[in-house]
A and B are shown apart, each in its own frame.
Chain A
Amino acid sequence: MAAQVSRAEYCVVACAEAWRGDGEILAAPMGVVPRIGARLAGLTFEPGLLLTDGEAMLVGDDPEVVEGWLPYRRHLALVAGGKRHVMMGASQLDRHGNQNISCVGDWKRPRRQLLGVRGAPVNTLNNPTSYWVPRHSRRVFVERVDMVCGVGHDRAAAAGPSATRFHELRRVVTDLAVLDFATPDRTLRVHSLHPGVTAGQVREATGFPLTVADDVPRTREPSAAELRLIREVIDPEGLREREVPS
């Protein structure tokens, strides 16, 4: 089975795993692979998850069936209420989990204007946050981000108890590995390597020293049922393979 599983499919499963144990909250995936992962979690081990149609509607197992309404204003209330776990993208991410999607270079006159802060500040201060990085590289994993949009552990701690109260960074899923912050100083470490990836490869693609345990596990295999769901039900067009080419 393992030989037939694509890298994108390992990523889908790794993203799905980020929502394990979350129960009846909104899974808010940004990106193709996280979206497939959230649905996979909802259809398998986290049936309580709430999912949207990408706009203003809450949908059930069948994405055609509307079960609720979540326009932006209510979405923002749900963020602040904490019953949500978002997986955002990151143009830059540092070892403390500070994330940048706003601009590269000096904020006053950026070398490259990106999305803007969007909802990253409200997300990271209020509900569990994970990140999805489809191309693990030194351009993304940098020593210092140019603008802190999503708040990392060091910055939250410095900002005081109101900043840390609901602050929780769960996982960073990339095309090479799954990372988390389970170190004494809550900096990034490798949680699991995707099959076929070496620790050296991940270190090479990361712009700061990265902890990889000698006995670091492999990202788990998808079950046959999960593979069927990914390939036949959730993503029959194979959009995942375009986001993470094998």
Chain B
Amino acid sequence: MSAAEAVGRIESGMTVGIGGWGSRRKPMALVRALLRTDVTDLTVVSFGGPDVGLLTAAGKIRKLVTAFATLDSIPLEPHFRAARERGALELVELDEAMVMWGLTAAVHRLPFLPVRAGLGSDVMTVNPGLRTVRSPYEDGEELVAVPALRLDVALVHLNRADAAGNGQYLGPDPYFDDLFCEAAGHAYLSCERVVDTTEFAAAGGPGTLLVSRHSVAGVIEAPHGAHFTSCVPDYGRDEAFQSAYAKAAADPGAWREFAARFLSGDEDAYRAAVAEFGREGRWPLR
């Protein structure tokens, strides 16, 4: 299916999980497609990167569930930072492990999972709804009951997939994309290249087959679909472009220019504008 069809299934007010990690293998083509819709009021669950930044800048997020938002080589996501400092973002700030266990609880259809993380920290203070649970065994330990992070929709990007929705990652880290897919009512998987199922075995061992078709509702072929985040080994992060993004994000005027140049058309237009940026080697900053 197309990216537009996939995000066409997202309705305002839904909870959307976004795969990848920071500025690594984010489903950016799907995020850009989401920017083109009039969907709003989303709850987003993400190990935050520029996905969070773009959706925040476009006013699509009502509530964000995360432990951080970073561009990796640039420690702070500038749109996230600005929205927080404006008081414009409802944040559910959880520890990284809590996000993983919240997704895992949803995958297993459990109401919560117990974790030690969070006790004593202000994660408990800024999330007054978080509860603890006591072990019924002799240890009697009291732990944090991380609620299930159930998702209406998940968006992930992998290196390869077949048309049926089996997805293969070829980089060093699967991140948590399988959890996002299995925690969601509907998951949409974009990939660098749709391949025949018979091609998986030659590209990598069985451990690379991260996402299985039973947890995927649609496959989107999106070459450079993680740009400007990394999608190793197909490509690394586009540091020059990311740096231009971050600089533009720091100033409303520059951001309007950036959005007009890169985000006002379809994915083909985005790729053409990025190619032109690559030839120029710089973004005309004031």
Contacts and interface: CB of A to CB of B under 8 A. Distances in A.
A109 B67 contact: no
Contacts of A156: 119-120
A151 B119 CA distance: 8
A87 B229 CA distance: 27
Nearest to A162: B141
A72 B176 contact: yes
Given A117-B93, A162-B116, A72 B175 contact: yes
Contact of A117 (B85, B95, B176): B95
B76 A121 contact: no
Interface in B67-120: 67-70, 75-76, 80-81, 84-87, 93-98, 100, 115-120
A120 B96 CA distance: 9
A179 B96 CA distance: 28
Contacts of B239: none
Contact of A119 (B67, B116, B172): B67
B96 A76 contact: yes
Nearest to B101: A76
Contact of B120 (A103, A112, A114, A163): A163
Contacts of B119: 121, 125, 151, 156, 159-160, 162-163
24 contacts: A71-B174, A80-B97, A80-B116, A103-B84, A108-B87, A110-B84, A110-B85, A113-B84, A115-B70, A116-B70, A116-B93, A117-B94, A118-B96, A121-B98, A121-B119, A122-B115, A124-B121, A125-B118, A147-B126, A151-B119, A155-B120, A158-B120, A162-B141, A166-B116
Interface of B: 21, 48, 66-70, 75-76, 80-81, 84-87, 93-98, 100, 115-123, 125-126, 141-143, 172-176
Interface of A: 55-57, 69, 71-73, 76, 79-80, 102-103, 107-122, 124-126, 147-151, 155-156, 158-163, 165-167
